[in-house]
A and B are shown apart, each in its own frame.
Chain A
Amino acid sequence: MKLYAKLFVILCCAILLAVSGTACSKKQVKQEAPATTVPEESDLNAKEFVEPSEIDPALAKIFKDIYFDFDRYNLKPEAKKTLDSIAEWLKNNASYRVLIEGHCDERGTNEYNLALGERRANSAKTYLIGLGIAEKRISTISYGEEKPQCTEHNESCWSKNRRDHFLLARK
């Protein structure tokens, strides 16, 4: 009996420890082992790219801007439709490369928006790769909130600025 009591106490302690342990680990931050992944060197020169409409005015209807919600970078159904058409065109015009510009509205702060713009450009890039476009044909650049399309301070303007914009260059 004594032994059982002892075991019971030990068991209780163990449970308590485990519970408090999880509680603790929830409050405490998770540990991140710094990894060594280093990004690749960039060979992008955005100045080589032009507006699709300069190549052919009809392309403006295919390479339409796609839009995002505030502080979000997920693709909306409308955006996916646009990207489907862009992918189709890129498949038929293998001599062209595309540059995806990620943009944000002025409501965020400048530095964070530079990071968010890169996310937005990459959302479109990942989707295009998924549709079979070669990764090497797709470049991205974030302009954050630094190149607004529309400069008024209201939601109708902000919603136009939260966008991916597309440019083309010949290989």
Chain B
Amino acid sequence: MKKILFLLVINGLLVSAVCQAKVYIDISSPSSRRLPILIPTFKNTGGELDRENLASKTPQIIADDLDFSGFFKIIDETALNSSTLEGLTSDRIKWDDLAIVGAEAVVTGGFSIQGGVVSFELRAYDAVQGKFLIGKKYEGRREDYRLIAHRFANEVFRSLTGVDGIFETKIAYVKAIGTDKEISLADYDGGNAKQLTNYGSLCLNPAWAPDGKRIAFTSYKDGNPNLYIMDLARGTTRLVSKKKGVNITPDWAPDGERIALTLNLKDGNSEIYVLHERSGSLERMTSDQSTEVSPSWSPDGRHMAIVSDRSGSPQIYVLEVATGRVRRITYDGSYNTNPAWSPKGDRIAYSGMVGGRHQIFITTPDGQIHQQISREGNNEDPTWSPDGRFLAFCSDRSGQKEIYIMRADGSGQKKITYGRGNKSEPAWSPFGSM
């Protein structure tokens, strides 16, 4: 896959004031107030006509990003006096007007289009003190405006919270095309969706390598559900496991060198194995007459959450990798599957059946507290954002299976996929993915 983006970033654009490391929003505090921020329409400062309406689309993406984070309240631009923002720089902004609409931060943006290239000049200010926070200049092709918006949203998020935003991360998922299924990839908000595989076959279970450059997946393209690794930078795909039976549900260990997966013994009984990617050697993790499937590593690599039906129904267990010892953590209901260990290590998301429907639950690794965070339709396949603040999942609430994102407390649920064909099995990328 060739690098699609030409992006020039000039740091510290026109920066005289060095921004202090003041934290405006303490995101570790559970009672964090949403910071009111104004992100008005960008100004076309010259060059060609803005046919794609980048003036509105670009700030809208930044606003959607910050709104979804749950730490910002987007102020309606229409409440504003037209003369409030005469220009992009602090001397052209009427700070008193911003105070009237309640804005505590403001983003200003200007752009110009020359040929195929668009240049953006974006700034963020502390509107209470009239203080410059951050400024960036970006150049890219017109179609790169989404990436540029996400990148600046990350800058704003970082300058106001002190931590990294997830607005440039991606979500891989499975998309049905007729009776086939192919792996697709989109921005975390569903933008720039594209199909990665085109085998005219079943491609399932996508899982990101920790480097964000490779995706492991199962495909039936060679007539058996084998495991493959796709290298996104090189555009190559390599067979890594073709054992008899299934070679499914890969999950990359935090070291990036081992992959946990599910294979069958002779009688169809599935077990968890660990595949050493380089040597191809296999270590067996479970040994039981029952079905074991869907491993998810803890971030320290010492445990895995797995599904086992050894109790007579599928339930979530925590497996200690060094000893093979397992501990059951779900007891309510008779169908608990799809465990996903959070990147911080303190939570495990899973789907559990309630009243005949699957719902997303969050529990602690000791299984002490279980919280249901979805209600509408069937909700399956939770996957964590790399900062552990958000989840993507699959839901049929719209009548067809689509990918949704939400905050980890279940708020802000938002559909991100559209169009024909069921979408399922989302896998949220690490930071810095391709």
* Residue A95 lies at the interface, judged by CB distance under 8 Å to chain B: no
When the two chains form the complex, which single residue of B243, B266, B285 contacts A42, counting CB atoms closer than 8 Å? B243
Is there contact, CB below 8 Å, between B291 and A119?
A: yes
Q: Which residues of A contact B263 (CB under 8 A)?
A: 39
Of the stretches B36-44, B96-104, B220-228, B402-410, the one at the interface is B220-228
When the two chains form the complex, which single residue of A73, A112, A123 contacts B337, counting CB atoms closer than 8 Å? A112
B92 → A minimal CB distance (Å)? 54
Q: Which residues of B contact A60 (CB under 8 A)?
A: none
Is there contact, CB below 8 Å, between A115 and B248?
A: yes
Known contacts A32-B288, A39-B263, A42-B244; can you find 8 more A-B pairs with CB under 8 A?
A33-B287, A35-B287, A39-B266, A111-B248, A112-B338, A114-B204, A142-B225, A146-B202
* Proximity string of chain B (197-216) to chain A, C-beta cutoff 8 Å, 1 when within and 0 when not: 00000101100000000000
- Which B residues form the contact surface with A (CB < 8 A)? 179, 181, 202, 204-205, 218, 220, 222-226, 242-246, 248-249, 262-270, 273, 282-288, 291-294, 307, 309, 313-314, 317, 323-328, 334-335, 337-338, 351, 356, 358, 380-381, 424-425
Q: How far is the CA of A92 from the CA of B249 in the complex (A)?
A: 39
* Proximity string of chain A (19-46) to chain B, C-beta cutoff 8 Å, 1 when within and 0 when not: 0000000000111111111111110111
> Can you report 15 A-B residue pairs in the complex whose CB atoms are below 8 A from each other?
A31-B325, A32-B286, A32-B287, A37-B284, A42-B226, A42-B242, A42-B243, A46-B223, A111-B425, A114-B204, A114-B205, A115-B291, A118-B264, A119-B268, A142-B225
Q: Which residues of B contact A147 (CB under 8 A)?
A: 179, 202
A42 → B minimal CB distance (Å)? 4
Q: Which residues of A contact B317 (CB under 8 A)?
A: 29
Q: Which of A40, A45, A73, A118 has the most CB of B within 10 A?
A: A118
Q: Which residues of B contact A38 (CB under 8 A)?
A: 243, 273, 282, 284
Is there contact, CB below 8 Å, between B249 and A114?
A: yes
Is there contact, CB below 8 Å, between B324 and A34?
A: yes
* Residue A161 lies at the interface, judged by CB distance under 8 Å to chain B: no
Closest chain A residue to B338, Cβ basis = A109
Q: How many residues of A contact B (CB 8 A)?
A: 45
Is there contact, CB below 8 Å, between B224 and A141?
A: yes
Is there contact, CB below 8 Å, between B313 and A71?
A: yes
- Which A residues form the contact surface with B (CB < 8 A)? 29-42, 44-48, 71, 73, 102, 107-112, 114-116, 118-123, 125-126, 140-143, 146-147
Known: A111-B249, A115-B293, A141-B224. A31 touches B324 (CB 8 A): yes
Is there contact, CB below 8 Å, between B337 and A142?
A: no
Is there contact, CB below 8 Å, between A111 and B268?
A: no
When the two chains form the complex, which single residue of B226, B286, B293, B356 contacts A112, counting CB atoms closer than 8 Å? B293
User: Would you list the 5 A-B pairs with minimal beta carbon distance, nearest first?
Assistant: A122-B268, A45-B223, A39-B243, A115-B293, A34-B324
Is there contact, CB below 8 Å, between B246 and A118?
A: yes
Q: Which of A38, A39, A121 has the most CB of B within 10 A?
A: A39
Q: Which residues of A contact B262 (CB under 8 A)?
A: 111, 114-115
Known: A34-B287, A36-B284, A37-B284. A112 touches B224 (CB 8 A): no
Known: A31-B324, A41-B242. A46 touches B220 (CB 8 A): yes
Q: Which residues of B contact A30 (CB under 8 A)?
A: 326
Is there contact, CB below 8 Å, between A48 and B264?
A: no
Known: A29-B326, A32-B326, A44-B244. A116 touches B338 (CB 8 A): no
Is there contact, CB below 8 Å, between A39 and B245?
A: yes
Closest chain A residue to B247, Cβ basis = A42
Closest chain B residue to A116, Cβ basis = B291
Q: Which residues of A contact B291 (CB under 8 A)?
A: 112, 115-116, 119
Q: How far is the CA of A147 from the CA of B204 in the complex (A)?
A: 12
Is there contact, CB below 8 Å, between A142 and B284?
A: no
